[in-house]
Amino acid sequence: MAKDEQGTVFVLFGATGDLARRMVLPAFYTLAIEDLLPKDWILVGNGRGDVSHEDFRAHVHDVLTEFGPAPDTGPWEQFSERLRFAGGGFNSDDPGSLLDVISDARAKAGAGAQLVHYLAVPPAAFPEVTKALGAHDLAENARVVYEKPFGTSPEDFRKLDRLVHSVLDESQVYRIDHFLGKEATQDLHVLRFANELFAAMWNREHIESVQIDVPETLDIDDRAEFYDATGAVLDMLITHLFQVAAEVAMEPPASLGAVDLQAARETVIRKFRPLDPAEVVLGQYAGYRDVEGVAKRSRTETYVAAKLWIDNPRWRGVPFLLRTGKRLAKSEQRVNIILRTPSGPFRSLPDQANVLSFSLSGSGEIAVSLLAKRPGVELELDPASVRLPLAELPAAEPLPPYVRLIHDVLVGDRSLFTRPDGLAAVWKVARPLLENKPRPATYEPGSWGPARARKLAAPHGWLLGQ
């Protein structure tokens, strides 16, 4: 890949926070290892503390040692020389030392360097950082990355959206959802649109149901304060799971370019039926309230299972079953497209025997489950499956989702980022649930969540776990 001749100054707000440590800094170093960064670049960390450039470099070294890629596996010396830190915080009234550090960085990366601002800060800080970018002349021609959730309620979304567009043009805004950066998520539309075998059956006549299942064995770790203010509905359901559902359900776009792909994704989201709270099960694992940072009487859900309907000719009557939760029996990220049981000469075929499955974990995997004749004299059927790990494709070079998405920001590709019209529709879909949330049922850690979630997947049940 040819090097971008334009320099880049990448400003990482919240540079010493948990998200930067776990995701953004490791992804940026991976880009350096893969030689996918611009020819000239500087990364400027920003935070409240008075941290020297040398101390920030030591911090990044520790981060990479803990979360990888380990600094001894790549160009650490050259990488570390391009790290800077601007302390003193950053707001409309006081930019701290950021303006001076950016000025110096531009001298290093080139006067016309592209500014990229990455807001790895709590959602509550988005408005003030955005206003400050405008107040200190750091918004013009810049690209700005917002983490999820983009807003915490329909009203908060609209307010934030107006503010962002008062400072930035929509073309400058990159609302990140790392599930869209997963290799197998992208194959949800590529496999379908590039293969008539799948395109022909991608409708209600052939598909019985779709299950998007993201159970996690993980706890909330040191995210307790953030998680207790957010919960599984905001953290996972109306962000990741809705976006993956749109990838499955969208109509064929005019092209796979950014504008057409985004438009197809957002158009189908507008056909999502508002959630019926009676078709949603919330849960909270036993012991959650004992976690430091969690309110003692918290009703925050750590589990959600929901039935989603899409009101268009392709999907009318096909349930999309969405499920995620913490402290569950197994960690998976899987989309199961369950085909209808065929009519014909065979009798009493097992249900859910024909499944097209996408594992979104790691580099991704596609699997097909089917029935085949067991070799022998008798006409007997056996279930069989074929699996295609995407990393085993010839010349495969899979990138982790944050690596892929940050690279897309650097080159200006908005294909895998969300748009405000789609997010407005998401909040409309979620509003009935947010205004009338069921009380979370308690479930045991290591289980598959509240027992009543099984009814959502009746009559056949969840393919994973129960």
**Beta-strand (E) ranges in 24-90?**
41-46, 83-86
Residues with a known catalytic role: 240
Residue 247, amino acid: E
* Alpha-carbon gap, residue 278 to 280, rounded angstroms: 6
Which residues does 448 contact at the CB level (< 8 Å), separation at least 6?
A: 215, 328, 329, 462, 464, 465, 466
H or E element at residue 134:
helix 126-135
The pairing of beta strand 143-146 with beta strand 114-119 = parallel
Strand, coil or helix: what is 305? strand
Residue from 138, 126, 124, 137 nearest 163 by CA: 126
HEC string for 399-434? CCHHHHHHHHHHHCCCCCCECHHHHHHHHHHHHHHH
Asked if residue 130 lies in contact with residue 164, where contact means CB atoms within 8 angstroms, the answer is: yes
Residue 288, amino acid: Y
The two tokens of residue 61 are 């070294």
